[in-house]
Amino acid sequence: MDLFRAIYSSRPFGFDDGILSGILMDARRANTRDGITGALICRADIYLQWLEGPEDQVRKALERIARDDRHLEVTVHVAERVSKRVFGEWAMLHDPAATWIWSQKEVSDGAVERATPEEVTAFFMQLGDGNQST
């Protein structure tokens, strides 16, 4: 199967535990149905999400997210074909991203807009260590 990876960021709208739980529940249900795996790094000022699976399904997921009013300023940082999954065991791994990605000040100062594909990929590769799957 041809695998496709996309990494996007967005700014949360109305972030709280209830909204986050709803996003995770929706993502896990849709991703299981569509053969997508991935991870979500989030906190009050940023969502950073890795999606991997069949290209058409990943692109449809990105379209749904862009229409979702819980996400503002959706920006795709990586969109590429890949040979294997990094988060194959996770319909959607959730990580609260407390300290090891950009600080809130860095996010407000434009770090997301300046991020390179390699930088956002590296965040997830750190998260993916120990979660390797083919």
Split at pLDDT 50, 70, 90, the class of 46 is confident
Can you tell me whether residue 31 is helix, strand or coil? helix
pLDDT of 55 reads: 96
What does the domain layout of the chain look like in residue ranges? 3-128
Rounded to the nearest integer, the mean pLDDT of the chain is 83
Sheet strands side by side (includes 37-43) = 71-82, 3-12, 46-53, 37-43, 93-95
For residue 29, the surrounding DSSP H or E stretch is helix 17-34
Q: Which CATH architecture is the domain 3-128 placed in?
A: 2-Layer Sandwich (3.30)
Split at pLDDT 50, 70, 90, the class of 128 is low
Give the pairing of strands 37-43 and 46-53: antiparallel
Q: What is the pTM of this model?
A: 0.80
The angle at the Cα of 56, spanning 63 to 114, to the nearest 5 degrees, equals: 50
